[in-house]
Amino acid sequence: MSREPVTRCAVRPGAYYDSVVLMQLQRALTGLPGVLDAGVVMATPANREVLAASGLEPGEDVPAGPHDLLIAVKAESEASAGEALSRVDALLQVRRSGAEQDFRPRSLATALKLLPAARWVLISVPGRYAAGVAEEALDHSRNVFLYSDNVPVAEEVALKRKALGRGLLVLGPDCGTAVVGGVGLGFANRVRRGPIGLIGASGTGLQAIMSHVHALGAGISQAIGTGGRDLSGGVGGITAGQALDALRRDPETQVIVLVSKPPAPEVAVRLLSLARQMGKPVVVDFLGAPLPGRKLGNLHFAASLAEAAEIAVRLVEAETDAPAPPLKTEGGRYLRGLFSGGTLAYETLLGLSTVLSPVFSNAPLSESRRLADPLRSQAHTVLDLGADEFTVGRLHPMIDFDLRRRRLRQEAADPEVGLILLDVVLGESAHADPAGELAPEIERALSEARAAGRTLEIAVLVIGTGEDPQDLEVQIATLEKASAHVCRTVGELVNHAAERLGQAEQEREGEPVPLEILQPPLAAVNVGLESFYDSLVAQGARAVQVEWKPPAGGNEKLAGILARMKGG
């Protein structure tokens, strides 16, 4: 009959320990004689609950808070538990093996003097110290791989703006994965080098894609993590934009993959506008966002990580997409869509969502884009003229063209309008000659615009078959004779709109990132998790580990006094 196990614990208040040291302490304790289980955690409520679930709860009477280290041991006897806890301090002193560096500088500045070739600084210290270390690295003109999380977004924006102005990259915060110059930073798979460049606001997303690419026999030029918040409205995709620009110039990169959770709409439009001007195919996987179609110029939209890899590999093997034609910038800048088919309007809105922002509608993708008044367009507008508000006491616009004719005149007279989209849906019960109804209106609108010295285009999506009573060929010919541009799918219509009205190439903000930082041999300084240092060395990179301690040993009050003294 076994005796009842006993649980005992110890607290080390307010001290800083490297997480790897804590994990090793826990393993060492678990391996001691008579010890059944052990837990070593910062004493947050969540961590204490996890301990409790494993029968390691020390009880409420142990005074330990989120900044205190809590060590709990479950043992066969009181004696074994006591013996284990008595060895905690000795175990905490054990230097990790593996790191084969004789002298360890205690500051980043000293480390960079030891390894001046290091263009990168890896930072994985606790979040509240991370921005300070990153800023110091930028001040030394070094690029930053910032693994730390819990960095406030305002600090992220400040760091990234500073980097942008100096032609430096800040990957992160909360960036787990990068491959630069053939060397993995943080969590990264060992993959063959090749022509596919990755940019991702998603760590395991990048890993899944690079692993699939490798399995398909192709390889990776660079993989640039941006941190999960980079494509949010607050940060605005600063790093992703720099990365696109760098991979555009990188001669080793033939195809680019951009992976992220859904970006803020205006960030998506800005980045995809950049991506469309790359002269290289770009595979886009915005996980969890509706696909705007499968292809928009050189952009290819993927529905999964595995598919993103497959498309990229296929594109390497295929002919390279032609660069997007230069955008036409004369004429009005706004688009107006006047649809009789609700689903056609909706799919057009979806496609345009990656090209233009904002697009308003009476049947919008999100409520914030609902037209205040369906009778008055705002900026870019796509209307479903078959919606209830337009059809009370009226026939459907596929039969009765009166409303659409009047609205077309209204939109064509607006000098801010450069492109009008229409649909023509043939078939049973529809108007007997829709092109015949629309063609004179189209001619009139175009000639009035010309007379006013404006550039206006009208594109018409025609849905129908050669068997339809209206005669598809005649309908198309009538529209083309009126100088309308005829499309046969929503995808074609959206592509046409993208070429006509997509954002022109932006002025490059900040300084370009020099391509040298992406080329081997890689050298780096590591501040934080020693396993990152070990990994760099194992991959043949030159590296220096900083023996980092929090300022004033983690005493924030004292650290504040020291910082003020330094500043004065």
Asked whether 29 and 36 are in contact (CB, 8 A), the reply is no
For position 294 contacting a second copy by CB under 8 A, the verdict is yes
Half-sphere exposure of 175 (CA within 13 A, CB side): 30
CB of residue 567 vs a second copy: minimum separation in angstroms? 30
**Which one of 314, 328, 333, 396 is in contact with a second copy (CB under 8 A)?**
396
Q: How far are the Cα atoms of 196, 254, 255 from residue 222, in angstroms, in the given order? A: 7, 11, 11
Asked whether 382 and 345 are in contact (CB, 8 A), the reply is yes
Q: Helices 238-249 & 153-166, crossing angle to 10 degrees?
A: 30
For position 5 contacting a second copy by CB under 8 A, the verdict is no
Structure tokens at 544: 């220096």
Asked whether 301 and 292 are in contact (CB, 8 A), the reply is yes
Residue with smaller CB distance to a second copy, 138 or 312: 312
Residue with smaller CB distance to a second copy, 328 or 485: 485
Of residues 137, 306, 171, the one with CA closest to residue 246: 171
For position 308 contacting a second copy by CB under 8 A, the verdict is no
Structure tokens at 5: 């196990």
The DSSP line for 3-62 is PPPEEEEEEETT----HHHHHHHHHHHHTSTTEEEEEEEE--HHHHHHHHHTT----TTS
Adjacency order of strands within the sheet including 417-425? 359-361, 380-384, 334-339, 417-425, 457-463, 485-487
Segment near a second copy (CB under 8 A); pick from 106-114, 211-219, 315-323, 503-511: 211-219
Residue with smaller CB distance to a second copy, 203 or 331: 203
Rounded Cα distance, 371 and 558, in Å: 56
Site string for a second copy, 74-113 (x = CB under 8 A): ----------------------------------------
For position 239 contacting a second copy by CB under 8 A, the verdict is no
**Which one of 11, 291, 379, 559 is in contact with a second copy (CB under 8 A)?**
291
Residue with smaller CB distance to a second copy, 93 or 429: 429
For position 205 contacting a second copy by CB under 8 A, the verdict is yes
Residues in region 30-59 near a second copy by CB under 8 A: 39, 41-44, 46-47, 49-50, 53-54
Residue with smaller CB distance to a second copy, 41 or 272: 41
Q: How far are the Cα atoms of 163, 221, 231, 359, 511 from residue 198, in angstroms, in the given order? A: 20, 8, 15, 30, 21
Residues in region 400-419 near a second copy by CB under 8 A: 400, 402-403, 406, 410
Q: What's the chain's Rg over C-alpha atoms?
A: 31
For position 549 contacting a second copy by CB under 8 A, the verdict is no
**Which one of 490, 524, 543, 546 is in contact with a second copy (CB under 8 A)?**
490
**Which one of 301, 334, 360, 548 is in contact with a second copy (CB under 8 A)?**
301
Residues in region 309-338 near a second copy by CB under 8 A: none
Residues in region 254-283 near a second copy by CB under 8 A: 259, 261
Structure tokens at 171: 């990957």
**Which one of 464, 502, 510, 528 is in contact with a second copy (CB under 8 A)?**
464
CB of residue 419 vs a second copy: minimum separation in angstroms? 21
Asked whether 71 and 92 are in contact (CB, 8 A), the reply is no
For position 504 contacting a second copy by CB under 8 A, the verdict is no
Residue with smaller CB distance to a second copy, 214 or 500: 214
CB of residue 73 vs a second copy: minimum separation in angstroms? 14
Please count the residues of this chain forming the interface with a second copy, following the rule CB under 8 A: 107
For position 393 contacting a second copy by CB under 8 A, the verdict is yes
For position 495 contacting a second copy by CB under 8 A, the verdict is no
CA dihedral 216, 217, 221, 222 (to 10 degrees): 40
CB of residue 288 vs a second copy: minimum separation in angstroms? 5
Q: How far are the Cα atoms of 348, 435, 498 from residue 382, in angstroms, in the given order? A: 8, 20, 14
Structure tokens at 144: 């930053």
For position 426 contacting a second copy by CB under 8 A, the verdict is yes
CB of residue 372 vs a second copy: minimum separation in angstroms? 13
